[in-house]
Structure formats: C-alpha cells, structure tokens
Amino acid sequence: MPNSHRSVSLLLVVLCCLLFCQVVESLHRRVINGEDAEAGLAPYQVSLQIGGWHFCGGSIVTPFWVLSAAHCLLNHLPSILVGVTDLSKEFEGKRYNAEYMIPHCRYDPNVHADDVGLIRTSEAIKYGEFVKPITIDWRPVPPGSKLLTTGWGAISYVELSKESSPVEEYPQKLQKIIMTAISLEECQQYYSSDGTDGTNGVDVGGLCAFFAGGTCSGDSGGPLVLKDRLVGVVSYGLACGDNIPDVFASMWMYYDFIQTITRDCLYQECVCREAMIFPHDKLYSESSKEDYFQSGKTTSNSKRKSVNRRRVLA
C-alpha cells in the first residue's frame, strides 16, 4: 500500500507539472512582444482611468481635447493622467478631470464601427517636455508603412477555458511596438464578411496594421502614429497575440468629425452632427472617400451598413 500511495502521489506531481507547463507555454505564446517605451517617446499618450485604474488609452490633440475610442467613452467620466510612462509614478505627471465626452454619433456598441470619440477636459492641459499634443494626419496611410503604437494594455493573455475569463498581465511601464500597415483589401481577407468569426469584415473606416503580437485589452483608444502624426486609434481585433492584423479607426476617415467637434463644442456640450454618411456600395473601397467627396455628395442621407463585429479589446 505505501508503494501504491507513493505512485499516486508521483502521478499527481507529474500531472500538475504538465498542466503548469501547458499554461506557461500558452501564456508565452500570447505575449504581445512590446518593449518598454523610453520617457518622452509619446508625450501625447494619456491613460484614461476610473478609480485610479487604467482601462483605455488616448491622445492629446489640443489643450482641451483628448481623442480615444468611442467604446471607451460610454459610461462614467474618466480621469486623464498625462506626462507619465510608468503608472506607478503618477506623481511625475498630472491628472485632469473630464468635463464631457462625445463619441461618434454613428457608433453603436453592438456594431463597433465608427469607433472614435473625444473627451473635453475641465481645464486646459499644460504642455511641457513630457506633455505635448499630436497632429492628426488627414492623409491615407500607404500599405507597408511602419507605424508606432503605444499603450498600457495587457502584455500577456491566456484563456484557461472557454467558460472563464482570460488571465491577463498588465504593465506599469508604457509599451511600444512597430506595426506594418496593410491595405484594406488584404485586411478583409483576415476578417470574414459572413460573420463566422464574429465580424462582418472591415469597412473603409478601418485602418489595419500587423505585428507578431499586437494590441490587447487596455490598449483601446491609444495612438497609431506615422512620422509623429496620428493616423489611427486602437479599436479591435479578433484575439490578443494572434497573427491577425489589428483594426484601428482611421484618421483619414474621421478627420472632419474630429475637427468639427474640437471647433464647435469647446464651450458647450454638443453632439456629433457632421458625420460622414456613405452609400452602401462605397464602404469597401479605399478610394471611395476621396471620390465621394470630390463628387460633392457630402449631404447624402444614405444610411451606413451595420457591421456586427465582436469586440475583444477593453
């Protein structure tokens, strides 16, 4: 009997080791592969927080306005932490309160297209060495461009089971990665248009970029940058760390919306009222926006096709 007990104990130890190894192996496969960002690399980067906890990123675009993702702006007014790369050193930065938030008027939490919005701060953000605005680029991003994205999103992600929430590890230090832009047509090959992967593809409002890792929970709303100009806002992806492009809200698509809100809503809370409404047959061509506006049809009342995409980023 003692030998039997010893054999059972040994078997349990072996099984536990195997399980632990599988979890560790899975965890490392999901590491997002970012690097610590040096101080001052992204002085426009902010941390949106509730109760002192980071949940989304954002970018300073004027002294009173922070740009983020619409899905980050649906609940409580966040506080806005600026001027830090290490969240454990909050004293090095400054915290601002939000006066009001304006998500894109066409954003639907059940659809997740038009995933962009703005936060108006209660006081002007004071600029300095580590706090600066970023210029928004209205031009389309050529495929192959090298893009910088930063954030405090999860650096590891593992699903232990389909029934439980994933295990995620979050950094204190701002992370950076260099991604490569791909064309809309190429990106659409990764995202199913028939809904089998939880999406209906990627429309013209999306900008796709690839990296062997990529963005994850907590990176949402953060910046995508080309040559020190903001070209995208972190929106969604199929899963963290998979070899599938991430989707960003394209500044080329939403530049007019952003300029309108920052101009007209500085001194009074208002709603989005100058959305770009596209005919259904214009949504899936990268050249459609330029052609559409050159044709002088910006007052079209055509409704935009609903896109039922699965959100996995926080």
pLDDT band at 198 (very low <50, low <70, confident <90, very high): low
CA–CA distance, 247 with 238 (Å, rounded to integer): 9
Q: How far is CA 294 from the centre of its chain?
A: 30
Same domain, 105 and 40: yes
pLDDT at 87 over 70: yes
CA–CA distance, 257 with 118 (Å, rounded to integer): 10
pLDDT at 298 over 90: no
pLDDT of residue 80: 98
> Residue 185, Cβ neighbours under 10 Å: how many?
13
Give the residue, 280 or 219, on which the prediction is more confident. 219
Same domain, 49 and 101: yes
Strand partners, 60: 66
Same domain, 44 and 93: yes
pLDDT at 27 over 60: no
> What does the pLDDT average to over 120-129?
97
Q: Which residues are catalytic?
A: 71, 115, 220
Same domain, 78 and 92: yes
Give the residue, 26 or 225, on which the prediction is more confident. 225
| Structural domain range at position 86 | 36-121
pLDDT of residue 103: 93
CA–CA distance, 188 with 181 (Å, rounded to integer): 13
Q: Per-residue pLDDT tens for 156-197?
A: 766 544 555 566 688 999 999 999 999 988 988 887 655 555
| Residue 54, domain CATH | 2.40.10.10
- The domain boundary, picked from 106, 121, 136, lies at 121
> What does the pLDDT average to over 119-127?
97
Residue 12, in any domain of the structure: yes
pLDDT of residue 303: 30
Q: CB under 8 Å to 39, separation ≥6 — which residues?
A: 85, 130
Residue 6, in any domain of the structure: yes
Tokens 């983020």 label which residue? 68
Same domain, 24 and 40: no
Same domain, 47 and 16: no
Domains contained in the chain, number: 2
Give the lowest-confidence range in 53-57, 89-93, 192-196. 192-196
Query: What is the enclosing helix (H) or strand (E) of 232?
Result: strand 229-236
Residue 57, in any domain of the structure: yes
Residue 95, in any domain of the structure: yes
pLDDT of residue 84: 97
Residue 128, in any domain of the structure: no
Give the residue, 109 or 200, on which the prediction is more confident. 109
pLDDT at 311 over 90: no
pLDDT at 250 over 90: yes
Residue 51, in any domain of the structure: yes
- Alpha carbon distances (Å) from 105 to 112, 118, 274: 12, 11, 9
CA–CA distance, 9 with 161 (Å, rounded to integer): 26
- Alpha carbon distances (Å) from 301 to 78, 115, 118, 239, 293: 34, 20, 24, 35, 14
- Alpha carbon distances (Å) from 310 to 109, 129, 212, 237, 307: 10, 39, 21, 8, 10
Q: Per-residue pLDDT tens for 251-265?
A: 999 998 899 899 888
pLDDT band at 75 (very low <50, low <70, confident <90, very high): confident
CA–CA distance, 138 with 191 (Å, rounded to integer): 25
Residue 60, in any domain of the structure: yes
- The domain boundary, picked from 71, 97, 121, lies at 121
Same domain, 23 and 43: no
Give the residue, 24 or 216, on which the prediction is more confident. 216
pLDDT of residue 196: 52
Same domain, 82 and 102: yes
pLDDT at 302 over 90: no
Q: CB under 8 Å to 194, separation ≥6 — which residues?
A: 200
CA–CA distance, 98 with 77 (Å, rounded to integer): 6
The burial class, CB within 10 Å (0-12 / 13-18 / 19+), for 15 is: exposed
Residue 97, in any domain of the structure: yes
Contact yes or no for 181/144 (Cβ under 8 A): yes
